[in-house]
Amino acid sequence: MRTSAGMRVLMLLENNAYPQDGRVRREARTLVGAGHQVAVIAPAHPGQAWREVIDGVRVYRYPAPPPANGLVGYLIEYGYSMVAAFILSLFVLLTDGFDVIHAHNPPDTFVLVALWYKLLGKKFVFDHHDLAPEMYYARFGGIGNPVVYRALVWFERLTCRLADHIIAPNESYKAVEMQRSGVEASRITVVRNGPDLARVRVVEPDAELRAMGKTIIGFAGEMGIHDGVDYFLRAAKHLREDLGRDDFFCILVGTGDAWDSLRQLSKQLGQEEYVRFTGYVSDEELMRYLSAADICVDPDPKNPFNDRSTMNKMLEYMALGKPIVAFDLTEHRVSAQDAAVYAQPNDELDFARHIALLMDDPQRRRSMGASGRRRIETELAWVHQEQRLREAYCAIKGDLSLSHGQA
């Protein structure tokens, strides 16, 4: 049943499970707190029930497709996921009902599900996590099929033009939505990927790392082909062989499509003594590892996708008060400002030089860390972003009331 205060919202998520996807989790909880009824359809992680309620959010899950490998694999994954999500959406429609369908990309093909429900009078909100056309080229190492790229642009345009409202993660994405898809600024709300400070917090540092007596360099995040961990591994080699430093140790937390190849690359570079890959860890372990780090790195290389995207790992480093070394990308500077030092884009030796610079300047590290933490607390934390999401939904609710002839 619809509550008197809010709307019934159905969220669609494909590229992660729920509640593992942090942005979707924060948004769903915010909307529940604002009086809306929220359901989420997502793929299941092993051991997750197909249906449950988490913090007031109704969650419906379908069996996850096998990991995609190459273009054909992604087409199979997305096709299967669209069918599975549509079937579950019919179940939600017939049981709880919904007024708004809120699709989180990728993929942008969720528009095919949303289109059906727009014909039934439902509102469509597009949550633009990733620039799919640019991500396609980045994921395949800058080499891709122009026909596929044009198809992705077409789906993005269709999605943006059919959406009643768009949630963008930053001003760069908003500009793309306006310029490439012709969307009016009034239909876009920027809701940044602010960290939840109840989760991202300094804890007792990992004792084994601190006992090494070396500068601890931390990385935490996705390890895909386009995430630049290979750039960092080669930078660490420069740090040893060209700059003569052996007083450091790298802790790399996370998994991804490139994880196995990155471990192999580390061995080829002779990094076993200096680099540890932890794989997936719990939030508690992640906070211990990052709390032990003296410097954190964001090695995303410059390309049209990374340059416009806000990286969650950078915001989490800032929330923990850690100084950052990153390549000089547009949204890196918007996010971190003085909390990071910026190497020449894609220059691994320059990246190593900036790491060495911070290794030798603990006072600057402290100043940078304090600047980042202050920026998170005063501007970027989720508590500052969720009001924008509430305001967007107030506008959507007003439009829905008008279209239904309600007071």
Domains by residue range for the chain, with CATH: 8-194+382-403 (3.40.50.2000), 207-380 (3.40.50.2000)
Task: Report pLDDT for 398.
Answer: 73
Rounded-to-integer distance, Cα 7 and Cα 377, Å: 30
Rounded-to-integer distance, Cα 359 and Cα 249, Å: 12
DSSP state of 254: B
Query: 3: exposed, middle or buried (C-beta count within 10 Å: 0-12, 13-18, 19+)?
Result: exposed
Looking at per-residue pLDDT, the higher value among 183 and 71 belongs to 183
Which tens digits make up the pLDDT trace of 304-344?
999 999 999 999 999 999 999 999 999 999 999 999 999 99
Query: 200: exposed, middle or buried (C-beta count within 10 Å: 0-12, 13-18, 19+)?
Result: buried
Rounded-to-integer distance, Cα 104 and Cα 128, Å: 6
Task: Report pLDDT for 2.
Answer: 47
Which tens digits make up the pLDDT trace of 255-293?
998 999 999 999 999 999 999 999 999 999 999 999 999
CA angle 337, 342, 345 (to 5 degrees): 130
Residue 397 — very low, low, confident or very high, per pLDDT cuts 50/70/90?
A: confident
**Tokens 């990071």 sit at which residue?**
340
Which tens digits make up the pLDDT trace of 28-48?
999 999 999 999 999 999 999
Q: Which two tokens stand for residue 64?
A: 């996850």
HSE (side-chain half, CA atoms, 13 Å) at 30: 22
Task: Report pLDDT for 358.
Answer: 98
Closest residue by Cα to residue 351 from 221, 271, 239, 223: 239
Q: Which residues of 367-381 are buried (b: 16+ CB within 10 A; e: fewer)?
A: ebbebbbebbeeebb
Mean pLDDT of 376-383: 96
Rounded-to-integer distance, Cα 363 and Cα 354, Å: 15
Mean pLDDT of 107-124: 96
Q: Show the DSSP H helices in 273-361 as ranges.
A: 283-292, 312-319, 330-336, 348-359
Which tens digits make up the pLDDT trace of 132-186?
999 999 988 778 889 999 999 999 999 999 999 999 999 999 999 999 999 999 9
Q: Is the confidence at residue 405, as pLDDT, over 60? A: no
What angle, 0 to 180 degrees and rounded to 10, lies between the N-to-C axes of helices 362-375 and 312-319?
A: 110
Closest residue by Cα to residue 217 from 252, 175, 174, 255: 252
Which tens digits make up the pLDDT trace of 207-265?
999 999 999 999 999 999 899 999 999 999 999 999 999 999 999 999 998 999 999 99
Q: Is the confidence at residue 99, as pLDDT, over 90? A: yes
Residue 195 — very low, low, confident or very high, per pLDDT cuts 50/70/90?
A: very high
Q: Show the DSSP H helices in 182-214 as ranges.
A: 207-210
Q: Which residues of 39-55 are buried (b: 16+ CB within 10 A; e: fewer)?
A: bbbbbbeeebeeeeeee
Distances (CA, A) of 331 to 24, 59, 195: 21, 33, 16
Query: 182: exposed, middle or buried (C-beta count within 10 Å: 0-12, 13-18, 19+)?
Result: exposed
Task: Report pLDDT for 403.
Answer: 56
**Tokens 């924008």 sit at which residue?**
388
CA torsion 110-87-123-403 (nearest 10°) is 150
Looking at per-residue pLDDT, the higher value among 405 and 61 belongs to 61
Contacts 24+ apart (CB under 8 A), 400-405: 400/7, 400/99, 400/100, 400/123, 403/121, 404/121
Task: Report pLDDT for 5.
Answer: 67
Task: Report pLDDT for 80.
Answer: 93
Average pLDDT of the residues of the chain = 94
Beta strand segments in 64-115, E = 100-104
